[in-house]
Structure 1
Protein backbone atom coordinates (compact mmCIF):
# COMPACT_ATOMS: atom_id res chain seq x y z
CA UNK A 1 0.00 0.00 0.00
CA UNK A 2 1.38 3.42 -0.88
CA UNK A 3 1.40 5.94 1.92
CA UNK A 4 -1.20 8.70 1.49
CA UNK A 5 -0.20 12.28 2.09
CA UNK A 6 -2.92 13.91 4.17
CA UNK A 7 -0.84 16.27 6.29
CA UNK A 8 2.86 16.84 6.72
CA UNK A 9 5.60 19.09 8.03
CA UNK A 10 6.39 21.75 5.37
CA UNK A 11 9.68 21.15 3.60
CA UNK A 12 9.80 24.28 1.43
CA UNK A 13 8.93 27.96 1.63
CA UNK A 14 5.51 28.78 3.08
CA UNK A 15 3.75 32.10 2.51
CA UNK A 16 2.75 33.52 5.88
CA UNK A 17 -0.76 35.04 5.85
CA UNK A 18 -0.91 38.67 6.89
CA UNK A 19 -3.02 37.98 9.96
CA UNK A 20 -0.43 35.48 11.22
CA UNK A 21 2.30 38.08 10.85
CA UNK A 22 0.15 40.57 12.76
CA UNK A 23 -0.62 38.07 15.52
CA UNK A 24 3.06 37.21 15.86
CA UNK A 25 4.30 40.76 16.41
CA UNK A 26 7.97 40.34 17.33
CA UNK A 27 7.68 36.57 17.82
CA UNK A 28 9.55 34.16 15.55
CA UNK A 29 7.15 32.54 13.07
CA UNK A 30 7.82 28.93 12.04
CA UNK A 31 5.54 26.91 9.73
CA UNK A 32 5.06 23.51 11.35
CA UNK A 33 2.23 21.75 9.49
CA UNK A 34 0.04 21.84 6.42
CA UNK A 35 -2.78 19.61 5.28
CA UNK A 36 -4.18 18.54 1.94
CA UNK A 37 -6.98 21.10 2.17
CA UNK A 38 -4.52 23.99 2.39
CA UNK A 39 -4.69 24.53 6.13
CA UNK A 40 -1.50 25.84 7.73
CA UNK A 41 -0.19 25.80 11.28
CA UNK A 42 2.52 28.14 12.57
CA UNK A 43 4.46 28.26 15.81
CA UNK A 44 4.91 31.72 17.33
CA UNK A 45 7.85 31.86 19.76
CA UNK A 46 8.70 34.92 21.83
CA UNK A 47 12.06 33.44 22.89
CA UNK A 48 11.04 33.41 26.56
CA UNK A 49 9.14 30.11 26.66
CA UNK A 50 6.02 31.85 25.43
CA UNK A 51 4.85 29.67 22.54
CA UNK A 52 1.54 29.86 20.72
CA UNK A 53 0.23 28.02 17.69
CA UNK A 54 -1.87 29.56 14.93
CA UNK A 55 -4.01 27.46 12.62
CA UNK A 56 -5.11 29.26 9.47
CA UNK A 57 -7.39 28.20 6.64
CA UNK A 58 -8.27 30.16 3.52
CA UNK A 59 -11.77 31.54 3.10
CA UNK A 60 -14.16 29.16 1.33
CA UNK A 61 -12.69 25.93 2.69
CA UNK A 62 -15.76 24.12 4.04
CA UNK A 63 -14.14 21.03 5.55
CA UNK A 64 -12.26 22.83 8.35
CA UNK A 65 -14.31 24.65 10.97
CA UNK A 66 -11.91 26.54 13.24
CA UNK A 67 -14.61 28.34 15.26
CA UNK A 68 -16.15 24.92 15.84
CA UNK A 69 -12.78 23.58 16.95
CA UNK A 70 -12.46 26.45 19.41
CA UNK A 71 -15.82 25.51 20.94
CA UNK A 72 -14.77 21.88 21.24
CA UNK A 73 -11.45 22.72 22.88
CA UNK A 74 -13.10 24.97 25.45
CA UNK A 75 -15.63 22.24 26.25
CA UNK A 76 -13.12 19.37 26.42
CA UNK A 77 -10.57 21.21 28.60
CA UNK A 78 -12.83 20.69 31.60
CA UNK A 79 -11.90 17.01 31.63
CA UNK A 80 -8.78 16.37 29.51
CA UNK A 81 -5.52 18.01 28.46
CA UNK A 82 -5.98 19.88 25.19
CA UNK A 83 -4.68 23.26 24.00
CA UNK A 84 -6.12 26.39 25.62
CA UNK A 85 -7.85 28.71 23.17
CA UNK A 86 -6.27 32.18 23.13
CA UNK A 87 -8.38 33.72 20.37
CA UNK A 88 -9.93 33.06 17.00
CA UNK A 89 -11.33 35.15 14.18
CA UNK A 90 -12.22 35.53 10.53
CA UNK A 91 -11.50 38.08 7.81
CA UNK A 92 -11.90 38.23 4.03
CA UNK A 93 -8.86 36.03 3.47
CA UNK A 94 -9.46 33.26 5.97
CA UNK A 95 -10.08 32.02 9.48
CA UNK A 96 -7.61 31.50 12.30
CA UNK A 97 -7.36 29.88 15.70
CA UNK A 98 -4.66 30.71 18.25
CA UNK A 99 -3.91 28.25 21.04
CA UNK A 100 -1.35 28.08 23.82
CA UNK A 101 1.28 25.37 23.61
CA UNK A 102 0.85 22.24 25.70
CA UNK A 103 3.81 20.15 26.91
CA UNK A 104 4.83 17.25 24.74
CA UNK A 105 6.07 16.28 21.30
CA UNK A 106 3.91 14.99 18.47
CA UNK A 107 4.07 11.26 17.89
CA UNK A 108 5.52 12.04 14.43
CA UNK A 109 8.43 14.01 15.88
CA UNK A 110 11.80 12.45 14.92
CA UNK A 111 12.25 11.55 18.59
CA UNK A 112 9.37 9.09 18.28
CA UNK A 113 9.72 8.09 14.64
CA UNK A 114 12.71 5.99 15.70
CA UNK A 115 10.73 4.38 18.54
CA UNK A 116 7.32 3.66 17.02
CA UNK A 117 6.30 0.99 19.51
CA UNK A 118 6.51 3.44 22.41
CA UNK A 119 4.61 6.12 20.51
CA UNK A 120 1.88 3.76 19.34
CA UNK A 121 1.31 2.45 22.86
CA UNK A 122 0.89 6.04 24.04
CA UNK A 123 -1.63 6.65 21.26
CA UNK A 124 -3.74 3.70 22.37
CA UNK A 125 -3.59 4.61 26.06
CA UNK A 126 -4.29 8.26 25.33
CA UNK A 127 -7.33 7.40 23.26
CA UNK A 128 -8.72 5.23 26.06
CA UNK A 129 -8.17 8.05 28.57
CA UNK A 130 -10.03 10.46 26.28
CA UNK A 131 -12.95 8.11 25.74
CA UNK A 132 -13.26 7.35 29.45
CA UNK A 133 -12.96 10.98 30.61
CA UNK A 134 -15.30 12.92 28.32
CA UNK A 135 -18.98 12.66 29.33
CA UNK A 136 -21.22 11.54 26.49
CA UNK A 137 -24.37 12.82 28.19
CA UNK A 138 -22.93 16.33 28.45
CA UNK A 139 -21.41 16.54 24.97
CA UNK A 140 -23.19 18.93 22.57
CA UNK A 141 -21.23 17.75 19.52
CA UNK A 142 -22.10 14.91 17.16
CA UNK A 143 -19.78 12.81 14.99
CA UNK A 144 -22.24 10.03 14.32
CA UNK A 145 -22.79 8.01 11.18
CA UNK A 146 -25.80 9.97 9.86
CA UNK A 147 -23.90 13.25 9.87
CA UNK A 148 -20.91 11.67 8.17
CA UNK A 149 -23.02 9.92 5.55
CA UNK A 150 -24.40 13.32 4.56
CA UNK A 151 -20.84 14.53 4.03
CA UNK A 152 -20.01 11.43 1.98
CA UNK A 153 -23.02 12.14 -0.24
CA UNK A 154 -21.83 15.72 -0.75
CA UNK A 155 -18.44 14.46 -1.88
CA UNK A 156 -19.96 11.90 -4.22
CA UNK A 157 -22.21 14.60 -5.72
CA UNK A 158 -19.10 16.71 -6.21
CA UNK A 159 -17.59 14.02 -8.43
CA UNK A 160 -15.35 12.07 -6.07
CA UNK A 161 -14.89 8.43 -6.99
CA UNK A 162 -12.62 5.41 -6.50
CA UNK A 163 -9.47 7.26 -7.57
CA UNK A 164 -9.93 9.68 -4.66
CA UNK A 165 -9.89 6.94 -2.04
CA UNK A 166 -7.11 5.12 -0.24
CA UNK A 167 -5.55 2.24 -2.21
CA UNK A 168 -7.37 -0.52 -0.33
CA UNK A 169 -10.74 0.98 -1.22
CA UNK A 170 -10.18 1.90 -4.86
CA UNK A 171 -11.45 -1.45 -6.13
CA UNK A 172 -14.93 -0.52 -4.91
CA UNK A 173 -17.18 1.29 -7.33
CA UNK A 174 -18.90 4.28 -5.81
CA UNK A 175 -22.33 2.66 -5.61
CA UNK A 176 -20.96 -0.38 -3.79
CA UNK A 177 -18.87 1.71 -1.41
CA UNK A 178 -21.84 3.95 -0.61
CA UNK A 179 -24.03 0.91 0.01
CA UNK A 180 -21.48 -0.48 2.46
CA UNK A 181 -21.25 2.66 4.55
CA UNK A 182 -25.04 2.87 4.48
CA UNK A 183 -25.20 -0.29 6.60
CA UNK A 184 -23.25 0.48 9.78
CA UNK A 185 -22.59 -2.19 12.39
CA UNK A 186 -24.39 -1.96 15.71
CA UNK A 187 -22.91 0.52 18.16
CA UNK A 188 -20.31 -1.08 20.41
CA UNK A 189 -19.91 1.81 22.88
CA UNK A 190 -20.79 5.45 22.43
CA UNK A 191 -18.01 7.80 23.52
CA UNK A 192 -16.92 11.33 22.80
CA UNK A 193 -14.54 10.66 19.91
CA UNK A 194 -11.51 12.72 19.02
CA UNK A 195 -12.65 12.77 15.40
CA UNK A 196 -9.14 12.82 13.91
CA UNK A 197 -7.19 10.36 16.02
CA UNK A 198 -4.33 10.04 13.54
CA UNK A 199 -0.77 9.67 14.81
CA UNK A 200 0.29 13.36 14.61
CA UNK A 201 -2.53 14.46 16.90
CA UNK A 202 -1.19 12.68 19.99
CA UNK A 203 1.54 14.37 22.05
CA UNK A 204 3.97 12.41 24.23
CA UNK A 205 6.01 13.32 27.31
CA UNK A 206 9.78 12.83 27.19
CA UNK A 207 9.42 9.49 28.94
CA UNK A 208 7.11 8.18 26.21
CA UNK A 209 3.87 8.45 28.14
CA UNK A 210 0.75 10.09 26.76
CA UNK A 211 0.65 13.88 27.21
CA UNK A 212 -2.24 15.48 25.30
CA UNK A 213 -4.43 15.54 22.21
CA UNK A 214 -4.53 18.28 19.58
CA UNK A 215 -6.65 19.04 16.48
CA UNK A 216 -10.10 18.32 17.87
CA UNK A 217 -12.11 20.04 15.16
CA UNK A 218 -14.33 16.97 14.62
CA UNK A 219 -14.74 15.96 18.26
CA UNK A 220 -18.18 14.50 18.93
CA UNK A 221 -20.23 11.54 20.05
CA UNK A 222 -19.82 8.35 18.04
CA UNK A 223 -18.96 4.67 18.40
CA UNK A 224 -15.45 4.32 19.82
CA UNK A 225 -14.47 2.27 16.76
CA UNK A 226 -14.76 5.42 14.65
CA UNK A 227 -11.61 6.60 16.44
CA UNK A 228 -9.93 3.26 17.03
CA UNK A 229 -10.07 2.07 13.43
CA UNK A 230 -8.44 5.23 12.11
CA UNK A 231 -5.89 5.62 14.91
CA UNK A 232 -4.57 2.12 14.21
CA UNK A 233 -4.74 2.63 10.44
CA UNK A 234 -2.72 5.82 10.65
CA UNK A 235 0.20 4.01 12.25
CA UNK A 236 0.77 2.36 8.85
CA UNK A 237 0.98 5.76 7.15
CA UNK A 238 3.48 7.14 9.64
CA UNK A 239 5.53 4.14 10.78
CA UNK A 240 4.80 1.33 8.34
CA UNK A 241 2.90 -1.94 8.87
CA UNK A 242 2.84 -4.01 12.02
CA UNK A 243 1.99 -1.51 14.76
CA UNK A 244 -1.82 -1.46 14.66
CA UNK A 245 -2.13 -4.25 17.20
CA UNK A 246 -0.25 -2.17 19.76
CA UNK A 247 -2.96 0.47 19.57
CA UNK A 248 -5.68 -2.05 20.42
CA UNK A 249 -3.61 -3.70 23.17
CA UNK A 250 -2.77 -0.37 24.81
CA UNK A 251 -6.40 0.72 24.61
CA UNK A 252 -7.46 -2.60 26.12
CA UNK A 253 -9.64 -4.02 23.39
CA UNK A 254 -9.71 -6.95 20.96
CA UNK A 255 -9.70 -5.93 17.28
CA UNK A 256 -13.13 -6.05 15.66
CA UNK A 257 -12.57 -6.64 11.92
CA UNK A 258 -16.11 -5.70 10.89
CA UNK A 259 -16.13 -2.37 12.68
CA UNK A 260 -12.55 -1.61 11.66
CA UNK A 261 -13.36 -2.14 7.98
CA UNK A 262 -16.57 -0.13 8.20
CA UNK A 263 -15.14 2.92 9.94
CA UNK A 264 -12.06 3.03 7.70
CA UNK A 265 -14.26 3.11 4.61
CA UNK A 266 -16.51 5.74 6.19
CA UNK A 267 -13.45 7.84 7.04
CA UNK A 268 -12.21 7.52 3.49
CA UNK A 269 -15.49 8.63 1.96
CA UNK A 270 -16.61 11.24 4.49
Structure 2
Protein backbone atom coordinates (compact mmCIF):
# COMPACT_ATOMS: atom_id res chain seq x y z
CA UNK A 1 0.00 0.00 0.00
CA UNK A 2 1.40 3.37 -0.93
CA UNK A 3 2.16 6.40 1.19
CA UNK A 4 -0.89 8.19 -0.26
CA UNK A 5 -3.24 5.40 0.73
CA UNK A 6 -2.17 5.42 4.34
CA UNK A 7 -0.98 8.90 5.23
CA UNK A 8 -3.12 11.24 3.12
CA UNK A 9 -6.34 12.61 4.59
CA UNK A 10 -5.72 11.19 8.05
CA UNK A 11 -8.39 11.50 10.75
CA UNK A 12 -7.80 14.58 12.94
CA UNK A 13 -6.43 12.91 16.07
CA UNK A 14 -4.08 10.72 14.02
CA UNK A 15 -2.83 13.70 12.02
CA UNK A 16 -2.18 15.59 15.25
CA UNK A 17 -0.28 12.67 16.75
CA UNK A 18 1.96 12.20 13.71
CA UNK A 19 2.66 15.90 13.18
CA UNK A 20 2.78 18.14 10.13
CA UNK A 21 5.63 16.38 8.33
CA UNK A 22 5.80 12.75 9.44
CA UNK A 23 8.65 10.61 8.22
CA UNK A 24 7.51 7.23 6.95
CA UNK A 25 8.97 4.01 5.65
CA UNK A 26 7.58 0.80 4.21
CA UNK A 27 11.09 -0.71 4.14
CA UNK A 28 10.81 -2.98 7.14
CA UNK A 29 11.07 -6.60 8.19
CA UNK A 30 8.44 -8.71 6.48
CA UNK A 31 7.49 -5.94 4.04
CA UNK A 32 3.83 -6.74 4.62
CA UNK A 33 1.42 -4.50 2.76
CA UNK A 34 -0.78 -1.89 4.36
CA UNK A 35 1.62 -0.82 7.12
CA UNK A 36 3.98 2.12 7.47
CA UNK A 37 6.66 2.81 10.08
CA UNK A 38 6.14 6.48 10.95
CA UNK A 39 8.50 8.85 12.76
CA UNK A 40 10.59 5.88 13.82
CA UNK A 41 8.03 5.36 16.57
CA UNK A 42 4.65 4.16 15.30
CA UNK A 43 3.28 1.46 13.03
CA UNK A 44 0.30 2.78 11.09
CA UNK A 45 -2.27 0.58 9.37
CA UNK A 46 -5.37 1.67 7.51
CA UNK A 47 -8.48 0.13 6.01
CA UNK A 48 -10.83 -2.77 6.76
CA UNK A 49 -7.99 -5.02 7.88
CA UNK A 50 -6.90 -2.37 10.41
CA UNK A 51 -10.42 -2.31 11.84
CA UNK A 52 -10.40 -6.09 12.16
CA UNK A 53 -6.96 -6.08 13.75
CA UNK A 54 -7.91 -3.44 16.32
CA UNK A 55 -10.81 -5.57 17.55
CA UNK A 56 -8.58 -8.62 17.85
CA UNK A 57 -5.74 -6.76 19.57
CA UNK A 58 -8.17 -5.44 22.15
CA UNK A 59 -9.62 -8.89 22.78
CA UNK A 60 -6.21 -10.60 23.00
CA UNK A 61 -4.97 -8.06 25.53
CA UNK A 62 -8.03 -8.82 27.66
CA UNK A 63 -7.06 -12.50 27.57
CA UNK A 64 -3.57 -11.76 28.86
CA UNK A 65 -1.75 -12.30 25.55
CA UNK A 66 1.05 -9.84 24.82
CA UNK A 67 0.33 -7.60 21.81
CA UNK A 68 1.60 -4.20 20.65
CA UNK A 69 0.25 -1.15 22.47
CA UNK A 70 -2.61 0.54 20.63
CA UNK A 71 -1.69 4.22 20.73
CA UNK A 72 -4.71 5.45 18.79
CA UNK A 73 -7.57 4.10 16.71
CA UNK A 74 -9.74 6.49 14.73
CA UNK A 75 -12.09 5.69 11.83
CA UNK A 76 -10.08 3.08 9.87
CA UNK A 77 -6.60 4.04 11.07
CA UNK A 78 -4.73 1.98 13.65
CA UNK A 79 -1.59 3.39 15.28
CA UNK A 80 0.59 0.93 17.20
CA UNK A 81 3.63 1.65 19.35
CA UNK A 82 6.87 0.11 18.17
CA UNK A 83 7.76 -2.66 20.62
CA UNK A 84 11.47 -2.01 20.16
CA UNK A 85 12.36 -5.70 19.90
CA UNK A 86 13.10 -7.99 16.93
CA UNK A 87 10.91 -10.79 15.72
CA UNK A 88 11.70 -14.47 16.09
CA UNK A 89 12.79 -14.42 12.44
CA UNK A 90 16.01 -12.94 13.83
CA UNK A 91 16.58 -15.94 16.11
CA UNK A 92 18.85 -18.80 15.15
CA UNK A 93 16.47 -21.35 16.70
CA UNK A 94 12.91 -20.05 17.22
CA UNK A 95 11.09 -23.40 17.25
CA UNK A 96 10.71 -23.90 21.01
CA UNK A 97 9.66 -20.30 21.60
CA UNK A 98 7.07 -20.49 18.84
CA UNK A 99 5.72 -23.82 20.05
CA UNK A 100 5.34 -22.70 23.65
CA UNK A 101 3.57 -19.45 22.75
CA UNK A 102 1.24 -21.14 20.26
CA UNK A 103 0.32 -23.72 22.88
CA UNK A 104 -0.67 -20.89 25.22
CA UNK A 105 -2.74 -19.18 22.53
CA UNK A 106 -4.49 -22.41 21.58
CA UNK A 107 -5.36 -23.07 25.22
CA UNK A 108 -7.60 -19.99 25.37
CA UNK A 109 -11.25 -21.03 25.86
CA UNK A 110 -12.88 -21.07 22.45
CA UNK A 111 -16.27 -20.08 23.82
CA UNK A 112 -14.84 -16.64 24.64
CA UNK A 113 -13.66 -15.96 21.09
CA UNK A 114 -16.00 -13.66 19.11
CA UNK A 115 -14.15 -14.06 15.80
CA UNK A 116 -14.94 -16.81 13.28
CA UNK A 117 -12.18 -17.94 10.89
CA UNK A 118 -13.48 -21.41 10.10
CA UNK A 119 -13.51 -22.72 6.55
CA UNK A 120 -17.10 -21.62 5.88
CA UNK A 121 -15.83 -18.07 6.35
CA UNK A 122 -12.31 -18.34 4.92
CA UNK A 123 -12.98 -20.32 1.73
CA UNK A 124 -15.42 -17.73 0.29
CA UNK A 125 -12.80 -15.07 1.05
CA UNK A 126 -10.22 -17.13 -0.83
CA UNK A 127 -12.63 -17.48 -3.75
CA UNK A 128 -13.06 -13.70 -3.85
CA UNK A 129 -9.30 -13.25 -3.95
CA UNK A 130 -9.12 -15.61 -6.92
CA UNK A 131 -12.03 -13.95 -8.73
CA UNK A 132 -10.56 -10.49 -8.15
CA UNK A 133 -7.17 -11.49 -9.53
CA UNK A 134 -5.40 -10.95 -6.21
CA UNK A 135 -3.54 -14.28 -6.17
CA UNK A 136 -0.12 -14.45 -7.84
CA UNK A 137 0.83 -18.05 -8.75
CA UNK A 138 4.46 -16.92 -8.96
CA UNK A 139 4.37 -16.73 -5.17
CA UNK A 140 3.18 -20.32 -4.72
CA UNK A 141 5.36 -22.78 -2.85
CA UNK A 142 7.67 -24.81 -5.07
CA UNK A 143 5.48 -27.91 -4.97
CA UNK A 144 2.52 -25.89 -6.28
CA UNK A 145 4.33 -24.35 -9.25
CA UNK A 146 2.43 -25.01 -12.45
CA UNK A 147 -0.96 -24.78 -10.76
CA UNK A 148 -3.28 -21.82 -11.17
CA UNK A 149 -5.32 -20.15 -8.42
CA UNK A 150 -8.52 -21.76 -9.71
CA UNK A 151 -6.91 -25.20 -9.47
CA UNK A 152 -5.80 -24.55 -5.90
CA UNK A 153 -9.32 -23.41 -5.03
CA UNK A 154 -10.79 -26.58 -6.53
CA UNK A 155 -8.41 -28.75 -4.52
CA UNK A 156 -9.48 -26.99 -1.34
CA UNK A 157 -13.03 -28.27 -1.83
CA UNK A 158 -11.81 -31.58 -0.39
CA UNK A 159 -11.73 -30.15 3.09
CA UNK A 160 -10.88 -31.93 6.34
CA UNK A 161 -13.28 -32.02 9.26
CA UNK A 162 -12.98 -29.11 11.67
CA UNK A 163 -13.20 -31.09 14.87
CA UNK A 164 -10.29 -29.55 16.77
CA UNK A 165 -11.06 -25.86 17.07
CA UNK A 166 -8.85 -23.33 18.85
CA UNK A 167 -8.26 -19.60 18.90
CA UNK A 168 -5.92 -19.47 15.91
CA UNK A 169 -3.59 -16.62 14.97
CA UNK A 170 -4.17 -17.09 11.26
CA UNK A 171 -0.63 -16.20 10.09
CA UNK A 172 1.63 -17.78 12.66
CA UNK A 173 5.15 -17.36 11.29
CA UNK A 174 8.45 -16.25 12.87
CA UNK A 175 8.14 -12.63 11.66
CA UNK A 176 4.75 -12.33 13.38
CA UNK A 177 6.09 -13.17 16.84
CA UNK A 178 8.31 -10.65 18.61
CA UNK A 179 10.77 -11.23 21.43
CA UNK A 180 8.88 -11.42 24.68
CA UNK A 181 6.07 -13.46 23.14
CA UNK A 182 4.37 -10.45 21.52
CA UNK A 183 1.96 -11.39 18.73
CA UNK A 184 1.61 -9.04 15.76
CA UNK A 185 -0.42 -9.03 12.52
CA UNK A 186 -3.42 -10.61 14.21
CA UNK A 187 -6.07 -9.43 11.73
CA UNK A 188 -6.89 -13.03 10.82
CA UNK A 189 -7.20 -14.32 14.37
CA UNK A 190 -10.29 -16.33 15.17
CA UNK A 191 -11.90 -19.68 15.79
CA UNK A 192 -10.33 -22.23 13.44
CA UNK A 193 -8.72 -25.65 13.23
CA UNK A 194 -5.40 -25.66 15.09
CA UNK A 195 -3.69 -26.74 11.87
CA UNK A 196 -4.33 -23.31 10.38
CA UNK A 197 -1.44 -22.16 12.58
CA UNK A 198 0.57 -25.36 12.73
CA UNK A 199 0.84 -25.60 8.94
CA UNK A 200 2.38 -22.16 8.46
CA UNK A 201 4.72 -22.48 11.41
CA UNK A 202 5.98 -25.83 10.11
CA UNK A 203 6.36 -24.49 6.57
CA UNK A 204 8.56 -21.57 7.63
CA UNK A 205 10.55 -23.44 10.23
CA UNK A 206 11.25 -26.29 7.82
CA UNK A 207 12.20 -24.00 4.94
CA UNK A 208 14.35 -21.59 6.95
CA UNK A 209 15.74 -23.67 9.82
CA UNK A 210 15.38 -27.36 8.98
CA UNK A 211 13.54 -30.39 10.31
CA UNK A 212 15.24 -30.35 13.72
CA UNK A 213 13.65 -26.99 14.47
CA UNK A 214 10.25 -28.35 13.46
CA UNK A 215 10.74 -31.17 15.96
CA UNK A 216 11.57 -28.65 18.70
CA UNK A 217 8.46 -26.69 17.78
CA UNK A 218 6.17 -29.72 18.11
CA UNK A 219 7.87 -30.80 21.33
CA UNK A 220 7.22 -27.40 22.93
CA UNK A 221 3.69 -27.30 21.52
CA UNK A 222 2.96 -30.77 22.85
CA UNK A 223 2.03 -32.70 19.71
CA UNK A 224 3.65 -36.07 19.07
CA UNK A 225 2.07 -37.15 15.78
CA UNK A 226 1.00 -34.29 13.47
CA UNK A 227 -1.76 -34.90 10.94
CA UNK A 228 0.01 -34.54 7.60
CA UNK A 229 -3.22 -34.15 5.64
CA UNK A 230 -4.23 -31.14 7.71
CA UNK A 231 -0.74 -29.66 7.48
CA UNK A 232 -0.89 -29.95 3.68
CA UNK A 233 -4.42 -28.58 3.43
CA UNK A 234 -3.88 -25.43 5.45
CA UNK A 235 -0.55 -24.75 3.79
CA UNK A 236 -2.34 -24.93 0.44
CA UNK A 237 -5.12 -22.66 1.71
CA UNK A 238 -2.54 -19.99 2.50
CA UNK A 239 -1.53 -19.85 -1.17
CA UNK A 240 -4.72 -17.85 -1.85
CA UNK A 241 -3.94 -15.12 0.71
* TM-score for the superposition, normalised by structure 2: 0.80
8 Å contact kept, 1:34–1:41: no
8 Å contact kept, 2:130–2:150: no
8 Å contact kept, 1:193–1:222: yes
Q: CA deviation at 1:225?
A: 0.5
- The residue aligned with 1:23 is 17
SS at structure 2 position matched to 1:33: coil
- The residue aligned with 1:230 is 200
Q: CA deviation at 1:43?
A: 5.4
Q: CA deviation at 1:240?
A: 4.4
SS at structure 1 position matched to 2:162: coil
Would you say 1:81 and 2:66 are equivalent positions?
Answer: yes
SS at structure 2 position matched to 1:68: helix
Structure with the higher helix share, 1 or 2: 2
SS at structure 2 position matched to 1:108: helix
Moved more, 165-174 or 195-204: 165-174
Q: CA deviation at 1:55?
A: 2.3
Q: Flag structure 1 segments of 5+ consecutive residues without an equivalent.
A: 1-13, 46-51, 206-210
Alignment of 1:126-205 (within 5 A): 126-132=101-107, 134-159=108-133, 160=135, 162-205=137-180
8 Å contact kept, 2:38–2:44: no
Q: Distance in 2 between matches of 1:121 and 1:34?
A: 22
Moved more, 196-205 or 34-43: 34-43
Would you say 1:213 and 2:187 are equivalent positions?
Answer: no
Q: CA deviation at 1:35?
A: 6.1
Structure with the higher strand share, 1 or 2: 1
**In structure 2, do the counterparts of structure 1 residues 23 and 230 end up closer, same or farther at CA, with 3 Å as the change threshold?**
same
Number of aligned residues: 229
Query: Which structure has more RCO (C-alpha within 8 Å, separation ≥ 6)?
Result: 2
**In structure 2, do the counterparts of structure 1 residues 215 and 175 end up closer, same or farther at CA, with 3 Å as the change threshold?**
closer
Q: Residues 148-193 of structure 1, C-alpha deviation per residue, up to 9 Å, x if partnerless?
A: 1101211222244744533221233555422321122122521111
Q: Residues 56-78 of structure 1, C-alpha deviation per residue, up to 9 Å, x if partnerless?
A: 34x6xxxx610111111111111
8 Å contact kept, 1:202–1:213: yes
8 Å contact kept, 2:117–2:192: yes
8 Å contact kept, 1:136–1:191: yes
Q: Distance in 2 between matches of 1:266 and 1:21?
A: 38
* TM-score for the superposition, normalised by structure 1: 0.72
8 Å contact kept, 1:77–1:84: no
SS at structure 2 position matched to 1:65: helix
SS at structure 1 position matched to 2:200: helix
Q: Residues 201-222 of structure 1, C-alpha deviation per residue, up to 9 Å, x if partnerless?
A: 11124xxxxx221111111000
